[in-house]
């Protein structure tokens, strides 16, 4: 561990004392909600809880512990305390996933304290961190010491190519090198005074709740390591400041911190993942620098796994990743897209128009592909169906995505739901007990947490058709928020026993075959209204896109915020007219569907489109 000067720590008591105040329950607002993620943490967790109890004697504190599938008695010890909220995640889902589960359970809280289980707070820590937030910081981190009082070099600078190269070559040979040449802050002066920082190791941090909500979920692609780097980066991008507060101190034992070769490799791979997300131009050079560094150490068995992972991206799947409690709890998740299959009905007339395919690949590359890349949960596959007669130029556009492993292509003139069920098993491997299929059209986009929300729904026992009810519609430089409880982004959660998939029927008719649930929450999808749509149109209320850019990276950046006058005009005039039309349209469609059936309604639509 990198250390600096030592200061006495003092005795660390353990065990609950008679008469100490209890933590707050799940109801009511608290000053601070602590979120702790545990994994086989029985030997250390009670020390953390007792330090919280002592340091929070004068504030309302709620403690939420998310256990990631411990095999020791961590959960039993915590439950015996009686005032700690314990959530079992159902498996070793990773640190970021554990935090996200905990964040959904903190309820009303002014700030959130995120802690490693092997941390203990020293007296005055919470007061100092809260004081720093009170002076305008969005997030505050404490000084970290070990049990002997040695100060850890816990502060970091934003990762850069220069620093990565210098750290790889110089390591600890030149600890006093200029700041440009190291990601770690080693200057003793930097640890004596409070100041703004880029980020710090994530053993302990206090974040303003409103800021945490703006930043959004922790990115679960970082199973372990780099997840805090990403969180701090997104917090700064939101305009928040991260401050180091030396008057706040925690003891971090780093118990069991010895790392396997696989964890060493994960550290390095996640550095590449972070660069791909935030520094795309430098991601490839960074991978090269790290590769050369690992080549120098190839004789060390601890680094051969890292070298192998840097040489082949396919090896990343073999590194530590989210695992459900057992094979029966695993989930196979598949996005499915019909790209240009021959179709009947009104769509066939639209697709026959000159330039339709060129328009679709441009929309696909502009909106659909980036939204799939941005998913915070990477545990899914994407299956795209193509017409066997697809032109070569289209295949050339899609081949790089296939080589990158982003999507899998199947060629077919027609795909039934039975065909999809068979292909789903082939593409995913069918290893889990559950299959989740989700429809994604080739001109639309998903929110960054779409897959994560589906997995969460499946983990909570939801089965049948599932719809993320709220979404956005983009048209003519404007964005509208719309609630559609049976939208086209339909998903089906089911066992592998005779799966029906999301293509069992029209998305509005899945309820005929299974239970259907509309999930409330932030917008989960984005529809693009353009000249070659079959049925998309403006619906909902005009909104400011600024509030949703983090959910849809890059998809709304070029949309200007509407003026107050435009918002009022939409609310008073345009929106009521739209809603009236939607009510009439919906009622007419239900009647026609009842009278004509699906095929008859398709024929009617075809005649209407053909007459235009």
pLDDT, one tens digit per residue, over 228-262 is 999 999 999 999 999 999 999 999 986 444 578 88
Instruction: Output helix, strand, coil percentages for the chain, rounded to the nearest 5.
Output: 40, 20, 40
Residue partners of 504: CB distance under 8 A and separation at least 6: 417, 492, 510, 513, 514
Higher pLDDT, 255 or 67: 67
Question: What pLDDT score was predicted for residue 235?
Answer: 97
**pLDDT band for position 177 (cuts 50, 70, 90):** low
**pLDDT band for position 326 (cuts 50, 70, 90):** very low
Q: What percent of the chain has pLDDT over 90?
A: 58
Per the CB < 8 A criterion, the answer to whether 89 and 67 are in contact is yes
- Continuous H helices in 21-173: 42-55, 74-81, 95-103, 125-134, 161-170
Question: What pLDDT score was predicted for residue 6?
Answer: 46
**pLDDT band for position 608 (cuts 50, 70, 90):** low
| 325-363 per-residue burial string, b: 16 or more CB within 10 A, e: under 16 | eeeebbbbbbbbbbbbbeeebbbebbbeeeeebeebbeb
- DSSP assignment, residue 140? E
Residue 26 in 3-state DSSP? Answer: coil
pLDDT (average), residues 526-555: 85
Higher pLDDT, 343 or 548: 548
The predicted-structure confidence for 388-435, as pLDDT tens digits, reads as follows 999 999 999 999 999 989 999 999 999 999 999 999 999 998 888 789
What is the token pair recorded at 576? 């009521």
Question: What pLDDT score was predicted for residue 176?
Answer: 66
The predicted-structure confidence for 341-394, as pLDDT tens digits, reads as follows 876 555 544 554 567 899 999 999 999 999 999 999 888 999 999 999 999 999
Indicate if the pLDDT at residue 275 is higher than 80.
yes
Domain boundaries, the chain: 24-252, 261-318, 326-565
Continuous segment of H or E residues that includes residue 65:
strand 61-67
When mean pLDDT is compared over 268-282, 311-325, 382-396, 494-508, the highest value belongs to 382-396
What is the token pair recorded at 490? 């339909």
Per the CB < 8 A criterion, the answer to whether 503 and 437 are in contact is yes
First-to-last C-alpha distance (Å) of the chain: 72
When mean pLDDT is compared over 127-141, 161-175, 510-524, the highest value belongs to 127-141
The predicted-structure confidence for 435-464, as pLDDT tens digits, reads as follows 999 999 999 999 999 999 999 888 777 788
**pLDDT band for position 172 (cuts 50, 70, 90):** low
Residue partners of 547: CB distance under 8 A and separation at least 6: none
| 575-603 per-residue burial string, b: 16 or more CB within 10 A, e: under 16 | beebeeebeeeeeeeeeeeeeeeeeebbe
**pLDDT band for position 173 (cuts 50, 70, 90):** low
Indicate if the pLDDT at residue 15 is higher than 50.
no
Any idea which of 269-273, 425-429, 576-580 has the lowest mean pLDDT?
576-580
- Would you say the pTM of this structure is higher than 0.85? no
Indicate if the pLDDT at residue 605 is higher than 60.
no
Nearest to 447 by CA among 481, 475, 424: 481
Residue partners of 419: CB distance under 8 A and separation at least 6: 412
Q: What percent of the chain has pLDDT over 70?
A: 85
The predicted-structure confidence for 99-125, as pLDDT tens digits, reads as follows 988 998 898 999 999 999 999 999 999
Question: What pLDDT score was predicted for residue 345?
Answer: 52
Mean pLDDT across the chain, nearest whole number? 86
Q: Does domain 326-565 have CATH number 3.30.470?
A: no
Angle 315-316-317 (CA atoms, 0-180°, nearest 5)? 90
Overall fold of domain 24-252? Spore Coat Polysaccharide Biosynthesis Protein SpsA; Chain A (3.90.550)
Question: What pLDDT score was predicted for residue 296?
Answer: 80
Question: What pLDDT score was predicted for residue 576?
Answer: 81
Indicate if the pLDDT at residue 609 is higher than 50.
no
Indicate if the pLDDT at residue 8 is higher than 60.
no
Tell me if 24-252 shares its fold with 326-565.
yes
**pLDDT band for position 217 (cuts 50, 70, 90):** confident
pLDDT (average), residues 274-280: 89
Question: What pLDDT score was predicted for residue 197?
Answer: 98
């Amino acid at each position: 561990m990198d250390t600096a000067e030592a200061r006495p720590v003092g005795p660390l008591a353990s065990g609950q004392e008679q008469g100490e105040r209890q933590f707050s329950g799940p109801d009511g607002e608290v000053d601070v909600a602590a979120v702790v993620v545990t994994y086989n943490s029985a030997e250390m967790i009670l020390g953390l809880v007792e330090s919280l109890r002592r340091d929070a004697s004068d504030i309302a504190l709620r403690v939420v512990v998310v256990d990631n599938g411990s095999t020791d008695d961590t959960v039993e010890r915590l439950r015996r305390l009686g005032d700690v909220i314990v959530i079992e995640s159902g498996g070793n889902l990773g640190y970021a996933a554990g935090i996200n589960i905990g964040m959904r359970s903190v309820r009303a809280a002014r700030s959130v304290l995120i802690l490693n289980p092997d941390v203990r707070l020293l007296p005055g820590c919470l007061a100092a961190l809260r004081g720093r937030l009170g002076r305008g910081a969005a997030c505050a981190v404490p000084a970290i010491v070990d049990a002997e009082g040695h100060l850890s070099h816990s502060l970091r600078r934003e990762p850069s190519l220069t620093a990565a190269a210098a750290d790889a070559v110089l390591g600890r040979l030149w600890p006093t090198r200029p700041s440009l040449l190291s990601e770690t802050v080693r200057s003793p002066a930097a640890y004596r005074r409070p100041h703004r920082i880029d980020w710090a190791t994530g053993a302990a941090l206090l974040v303003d709740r409103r800021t945490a909500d703006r930043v959004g979920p922790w990115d679960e692609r970082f199973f372990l390591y780099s997840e805090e780097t990403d969180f701090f980066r997104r917090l700064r991008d939101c305009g928040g400041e991260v401050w180091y507060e030396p008057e706040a101190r925690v003891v971090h034992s780093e118990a069991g911190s010895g790392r396997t070769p696989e964890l060493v490799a994960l550290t390095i791979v996640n550095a590449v993942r972070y660069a791909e997300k935030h520094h795309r131009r430098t991601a490839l050079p960074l991978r090269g620098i790290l590769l050369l560094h690992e080549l120098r150490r190839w004789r060390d068995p601890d680094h051969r796994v890292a070298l192998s992972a840097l040489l082949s991206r396919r090896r990343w799947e073999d590194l530590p990743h989210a695992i459900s409690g057992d094979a029966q709890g695993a989930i196979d998740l598949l996005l499915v897209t019909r790209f240009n299959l021959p179709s009947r009905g009104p769509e066939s007339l639209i697709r026959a128009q000159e330039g339709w395919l060129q328009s679709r690949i441009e929309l696909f590359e502009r909106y659909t592909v980036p939204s799939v890349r941005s998913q915070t949960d990477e545990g899914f596959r994407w299956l795209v169906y193509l017409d066997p007669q697809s032109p070569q130029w289209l295949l050339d556009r899609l081949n790089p995505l296939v080589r990158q492993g982003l999507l899998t292509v199947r060629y077919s003139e027609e795909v039934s739901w039975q065909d999809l069920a068979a292909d789903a098993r082939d593409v995913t491997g069918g290893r889990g007990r559950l299959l989740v299929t989700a429809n994604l059209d080739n001109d639309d986009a998903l929110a960054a947490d779409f897959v994560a929300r589906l997995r969460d729904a499946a983990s909570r026992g939801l089965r049948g058709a599932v719809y993320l009810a709220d979404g956005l519609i983009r048209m003519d430089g404007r964005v509208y928020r719309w609630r559609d409880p049976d939208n086209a982004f339909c998903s089906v959660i089911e066992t592998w026993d005779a799966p029906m998939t999301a293509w069992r029927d029209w998305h509005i008719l899945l309820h005929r075959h299974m239970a259907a649930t509309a999930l409330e929450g932030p917008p989960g999808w984005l529809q693009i209204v353009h000249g070659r749509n079959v049925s998309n149109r403006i619906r909902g209320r005009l909104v400011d896109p600024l509030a949703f850019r983090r959910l849809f990276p890059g998809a709304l950046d070029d949309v200007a915020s509407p003026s107050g006058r435009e918002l009022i005009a939409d609310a008073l005039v345009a929106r009521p007219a739209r809603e009236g039309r939607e009510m009439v349209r919906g009622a007419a469609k239900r009647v026609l569907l009842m009278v004509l059936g699906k095929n008859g309604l398709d024929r009617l639509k075809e005649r209407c489109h053909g007459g235009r």
